[in-house]
Amino acid sequence: MPIIHIKSEVEYNKYVSQGKLTVVDFFAEWCGPCKAIAPRFENLSNIYRNANFLKVNIDEMNSLASGLSVASIPTFIFYKSGKTLHRITGANYGEIESTVKKYYTEGGMPTTGGHVLGTGKAPAPGHRATGSNAQGEPGSFQQFLNNPPQTLILGLVIVILIFWFTKGKASDDDYARWLKS
């Protein structure tokens, strides 16, 4: 389904109240990250055709954006049946895509690859229903490590802690013993 450019609050409310997934991109023409994510957002709209993909220009629809507390752009809000499911601030394509996959349904059935109740085998004991993508689940340690500034900070904290606990007195012998272990 092509992207729908929202021109009024009535039109916006019509789409977000529908029973299917609606993803709204709050953007501005002058915003660099908004321009960078736009082709990928459009690609998602072509893949997930049973969902609504809306774009709201905050310069044209300022009252709507402020009413929804959109303080920075791009901001993506996910809806189904008028209920807010998730909110993402920033052009984090991995998180946007994984959130679409999480909430998307086709023909009323989730697209998770699961079984309809009563038609398949029960999951194995200890089975966890989690996604497995290279980006990691939202909030996971893997997703944390995929963010270069956070990884750098974590590395610096580890170095500082090592230095603190050894009081800077690690000798070559200590280093050699550590390498052998």
**Given the residues 6, 21, 23, 31, the one annotated as active site:** 31
Burial of 86 (0-12, 13-18, 19+ CB in 10 A): middle
Average pLDDT score over the chain:
79
DSSP bridge partners of 92: none
Residue with tokens 């690859």: 113
Q: How far apart are CA 164 and CA 155, in angstroms?
A: 14
Confidence class for position 156, pLDDT limits 50, 70, 90: confident
Q: What is the Cα–Cα distance from 144 to 162, expressed in whole angstroms? A: 21
Using 50, 70 and 90 to split pLDDT, how confident is the model at 98? very high
Lowest mean pLDDT among 50-54, 56-60, 99-103, 110-114: 110-114
Please pick, among 6, 16, 24, 34, the residue that the annotation labels catalytic.
34
Judge whether 93 counts as a catalytic residue: no
**Residue 34 is a catalytic residue:** yes
- For 4-103, which CATH superfamily applies? Glutaredoxin (3.40.30.10)
- Three-state secondary structure of the chain: CCCEECCCHHHHHHHHCCCCCEEEEEECCCCHHHHHHHHHHHHHHHHCCCCEEEEEECCCCHHHHHHCCCCCCCEEEEEECCEEEEEEECCCHHHHHHHHHHHCEECCEECCCCCCCCCCCCCCCCCCCCCCCCCCCCCCHHHHHCCHHHHHHHHHHHHHHHHHHHCCCCCHHHHHHHHHC
Q: Residue 177's pLDDT band (boundaries 50, 70, 90)?
A: confident
Over residues 134-151, the pLDDT tens digits come to 455 555 566 656 666 767
